[in-house]
Amino acid sequence: MYRNFLERFKIFLSPSITVAKSYWEKVPPQLRKVFKIAGIAIGLLLFSLIIFSTVIRISKKQTPAVINVVPSEVPQATSFPEEKIFNPSRYATDSAILKIEEDLKSVEKELNDLEVNEVDLLPPKLDFEINFEK
- Residue pLDDT, tens place only, 13-57: 778 888 888 888 888 888 888 888 999 999 999 999 999 999 888
* pLDDT-derived band at 133, boundaries 50, 70, 90: confident
- DSSP state, residue 39: H
CB within 8 Å of 35: residues ≥ 6 apart: 27
Position 56: which residue type? I
**Integer Cα distance of 32 and 36 in angstroms:** 6
Domain residue ranges in the chain: 2-62
pTM above 0.75, yes or no: no
